[in-house]
Chains A and B, each alone.
Chain A
């Protein structure tokens, strides 16, 4: 989605987005819908400065209650995944354990005789005694070597975990020690940037938005199962738990497997990603330019399905068969070669549909942009106000949300075991798919579609979507109670 801010009708800017990239009205109906949405997930989208403030609060809290430097507090928070409370409790029990676990102190006190302050063990130079320094482990090295060591480490992107230079010593250099040796301003800045990034990455309640060049950071309190977060800046949909693109109803492990598989098999699968197909009836070349999979040949008016090229009539509203992959029952008797071929066929079946919906989503964004300009034209021409056409806009956004979920049902189905549960899933998937294509068809021809008819279709599609998610989003039943807060 692109420029939403230039929408003329947009009079409620403060609330100008919902999870799927649209603006949300604050009326009761919308609020209820988001509550009924099985994907509903509480999170916030923070700016860098806000996160810095948040981290500083933890650092201050710890440094005040343990009477330690903020620099040391950072080392400990990093080691304990930012759980200040846990550190404070454990510190009261056994301070030494906490210091050792955080690598502030060495496990065993080092033998002082080991570290000479007459010859530096790293550079073999002999600077005067005041030009040596050491961490809590007492391994003294000359300040020039420390500076070089930090420079090399920072340039390699290391920040919170720079170790002492002595052999087998795991003691970490805290920020103030590093900065007392690093003088180049650019290097100091890089060190602090890396440190911040590392803090966010090690913090269980934070995650960077993976959108390109995006600076926003998500904050949430649950990190298990497919959890949808949407960026305020770039509108990317991400799973908070794993950082992959949001993927319900598929779970985190499965989507990782699927994406890896698709990357590995992209060669084999590439041939299907063509943008054009021949009309199955008159063979004229048709380019797909909308997201709808219900195609109509401009030449012969034949209605067919873009995915399977079958007659659209056979995709009747009762049972949309095209989404279901039929396993060959004679498979077990076949030889290995045939099984491999069958495996590829199965994969391609799911991949083709996955890819196709991804492409439809992109095309429907174009539809959305076109729709906006069409509505603007109508408003300019005095054919009603934006309020009158709002339903069309809502329909297009709902279509996007439904199709997104539909796309991510395919990896789920691919890995599902054959059985009644898979049958139920594919039945619901087929129903969702059918309603989405109906909706897509109507949205593309919105001006000639009856408003009541369209709104009815929206309702049906969204119901199918939530039903499927309610039944198959794993954490709804299994993981909700075990999530760590």
Chain B
């Protein structure tokens, strides 16, 4: 790994560790290996959002050309959000792409991702299905996001109706996550979700 990249990451790691956000439990950063090329990030779901109470893990890969190129970051925890792919965890965020600046740090990036959970950008969607639900049925979107937070990120709100529908499909031999994706996609209409799964 290039000299500058390693030096920068070490310094940023220290910066995050000393920050008030770590002290407050909002963000966390961990090393994955001792070559400083990969880290594990963690952000807390922001209050007053469907993600509240959840803990979200992030995979952070540091390129050779860091900080002149942005780090590659994706959600490892499954999440229902217009700007995050519900399949791959890829994030659509300008500062991770063309708006990256060499002077930005991991701390600002983690805080920006957390801010994205509070304020989605439905006009720049990463997941078209989620974005459509976000725009057209915001209440259903909120419930679905809460449900995912409960199941995958340890959030507090268990939604009985959704759990039951997922269980129904599991009983029909469908994989749990697949069932949840189909139901979430078809606004929790059991019939349409089943039709899609068996077509």
Contacts and interface: CB of A to CB of B under 8 A. Distances in A.
Contact of B103 (A148, A153, A166): A166
Given A148-B4, A152-B68, A152-B69, A169 B11 contact: no
Interface string B99-117: 1011110001000000000
B7 interface: yes
Given A123-B4, A167-B101, A169-B101, 16 more contacts: A121-B103, A122-B4, A122-B67, A122-B103, A124-B8, A124-B11, A139-B103, A141-B102, A141-B103, A145-B4, A149-B68, A153-B68, A165-B103, A166-B103, A167-B104, A168-B99
B163 interface: no
Nearest to B101: A167
A122 B102 contact: yes
Interface of A: 121-124, 139, 141, 145, 148-149, 151-153, 163-169
Contacts of A124: 7-8, 11
Nearest to A161: B98
B101 A165 contact: yes
Interface in B48-91: 65, 67-69
B102 A149 contact: yes
B64 to A, nearest CB: 10
Contacts, number: 41
Nearest to A114: B103
A401 to B, nearest CB: 44
Interface residues on chain B, size class:
10 to 19
Given A149-B102, A166-B103, A167-B108, A122 B69 contact: no
Give the 5 A-B residue pairs with the shortest CB-CB distance, closest first: A165-B102, A152-B68, A122-B102, A167-B101, A121-B103
Contact of A168 (B8, B68, B101): B101
Interface in B1-34: 4, 7-8, 11
Interface string B160-197: 00000000000000000000000000000000000000
Contacts of B108: 167
A339 to B, nearest CB: 20
25 contacts: A121-B103, A122-B4, A122-B102, A122-B103, A123-B4, A123-B7, A123-B8, A141-B102, A141-B103, A148-B4, A148-B65, A148-B68, A149-B68, A152-B65, A152-B68, A152-B69, A153-B68, A163-B101, A164-B101, A165-B101, A166-B101, A166-B103, A167-B103, A167-B108, A169-B101
A482 B138 CA distance: 44
A480 to B, nearest CB: 37
Nearest to B108: A167
Contacts of B104: 167
A166 to B, nearest CB: 5
B10 to A, nearest CB: 9
A145 B102 contact: yes
A148 B101 CA distance: 13
B14 to A, nearest CB: 11
Q: Which of A152, A163, A168, A169 has the most CB of B within 10 A?
A: A152
Contacts of B102: 122, 141, 145, 149, 165
Nearest to B98: A163
A164 B104 CA distance: 12
A123 B104 CA distance: 11
Nearest to B65: A152
A365 B59 CA distance: 57
A164 B103 CA distance: 9
Contacts of B101: 163-169
